[in-house]
Every structure is written in structure tokens, then in C-alpha cells.
Copies of this chain bind each other. A is one copy, B any other.
Amino acid sequence: DQEEVAFLVAKYDLTAIPVINQNNKMIGIITVDDIIDVIEAENTEDMLRLAGVHEEENINSPLGKSVTRRLPWLAVDLGMTFLSAFIVSLFEDVIAQAVVLASVLPIIANMGGNAGNQSLSVMIRGIALGDLDLDSENGKILLKEGLLGLINGAAIGLFAATVMYFIHGNPYLGLIIFLSLTLNLFIAGLLGFLIPMVLKWMGFDPALGSSIFLTTFLDIVGFFVFLSLARIFINLLL
């Protein structure tokens, strides 16, 4: 398809590609200025779909069209967000005992989402540029993104835990924040790789709404882990 042609032209610095029929007769030519348009269109599609925006949306789209193009993804997002609200509601008894836990939830959610979006952007770009040999390098890249999440998670977790210890004076609160952020950013790295891969395997565009799936899933896992640890160690937190 047009994406593959554009990719070949970009990779081998071609300036034109002949189009032949079954008898090897040249029936046309694809020139490089057509290719530039395809590349720009594919890049636009990737960036917009990643964020849950219809690929035909642009800055000058009329208001009504923009509403009908963006609202469906927000509705999908809302449906999934009810799940993370439900997870938090399962721990209302724990939060009622130590209300400080509520103020840690935004840290867990925001850091997981942003770390995941870093991995996701690098992956989507790697796929678009053909930098990724999907058959032989899967395992290597999954391992790298996982390790990266673990290292960044531990660094961010240590910093967050130290600050919260100085504010609240409870080392156990710091410890569960450290463990939760480390695990959440580890999972963020894995999912930043796995979500586009799974979308691709299912025959969808790897960018399609992947940031929305990722951030919501990380909220769910992050809240569950953090509040479960809080429940187990609640006596140490009071």
C-alpha cells in the first residue's frame, strides 16, 4: 500500500518508482512529491490516532465535525475510567482511615501515564520509521522498555518517597509509594511496548487510541497495587 511505497522511497532515497503491469510494461510512475504527501498524511494519522482523534480532523475542521470526531473516544475513555473509580471505591474503608492516601493517587496516576506515553511514542515512531524488526527484536525491546521502566520508576519512586517522608514523617508511607511507583513505571514500560503490538496483531493501526488505553489501564493497576499495599500495612500508616 501507499505507506510501504513511501517507506521504500524514504529508506533508499529514491526519487521515483515505476509502476508496471503483469507484462512488465510500465503503466505509470510515482514521483517523490506524491510520496511526501503520503508521509505527511501517515505522520498526521499516527499522531492524531495516538491521542484518540480521527485522522481527518485538523485545526480548521468545523466545530460540529470536531465534536463528532473526538467525543466517541472520550466516551470510550469514560467507560474505562469508571473502572478505575470502581477500584478506588473498593478501598474507601482504607482511605477513610488514612485520608493522606487520596492525595497520593494523583502522583501514581500521573507518573504512570506520562512514563507510559514516553515508551508508547518511541514505539509508534519506531514502527513508522521501520526501525523495528518485529520478528527478531520483540523480546529484546520488551526487556529494554521493562528495565527502563524499572530504573526510572525506582529513581522517581525514591524521590517521591523521600519528599512524602519529610512531609508526613511516616517511613512506611514512603515505602509503599516507592514500591508502587517502581512497579507502575515498570508496567508502563511493558505496556508502552505491548499495546501497539497487540493492536497490530489484531489488525488495527498500532497508534489507534493507544494512549487512552494505556493511561486508563495504568490508573487501574497503579491504584490497585498502591491501595492494596496500604490495606496490608494500614496499621503502620496510622
A182 beta carbon closer than 8 Å to chain B? no
Q: Which residues of A213-238 are within 8 A (CB) of B?
A: 215-216, 219, 223
Contacts of A74 in B (CB 8 A): 111, 114-115, 118, 152, 155-156, 185
A163: contacting residue among B59, B82, B132, CB under 8 A: B82
Q: Which residues of A141-162 are within 8 A (CB) of B?
A: 141, 144, 147-148, 151-152, 155-156, 159-160
Chain A, residues 24-66, CB within 8 Å of chain B (1/0): the string is 0000000111011101100110111011110001111001001
A46: contacting residue among B47, B77, B81, B96, CB under 8 A: B47
Q: Are A103 and B114 in contact (CB under 8 A)?
A: no
In the assembled complex, how far is the CB of residue A213 from the closest CB belonging to chain B, in whole angstroms?
11
In the assembled complex, how far is the CB of residue A174 from the closest CB belonging to chain B, in whole angstroms?
13
5 contacts between A and B (CB under 8 A): A40-B129, A82-B107, A92-B102, A114-B212, A114-B215
A19 beta carbon closer than 8 Å to chain B? no
Q: Are B95 and A99 in contact (CB under 8 A)?
A: yes
Contacts of A89 in B (CB 8 A): 100, 103
A198 beta carbon closer than 8 Å to chain B? no
A36: contacting residue among B35, B88, B101, CB under 8 A: B35
Q: Are A67 and B36 in contact (CB under 8 A)?
A: no
Contacts of A99 in B (CB 8 A): 92, 95-96
Chain A: number of interface residues, binned into ranges: 35 or more
A113: contacting residue among B111, B113, B151, CB under 8 A: B113
Which 9 A-B residue pairings sit nearest by Cβ, starting from the closest? A59-B126, A88-B103, A13-B33, A51-B121, A89-B103, A43-B43, A102-B102, A92-B99, A84-B106
Bound CA–CA A238/B117 (angstroms): 38
Bound CA–CA A99/B52 (angstroms): 32
Bound CA–CA A92/B144 (angstroms): 40
Given A15-B31, A67-B151, A71-B152, 7 new contacts (CB under 8 A): A40-B43, A43-B43, A75-B159, A78-B111, A81-B106, A92-B103, A95-B102
Q: A33-B14, A36-B39 are in contact. Are A110 and B77 (CB under 8 A)?
A: yes
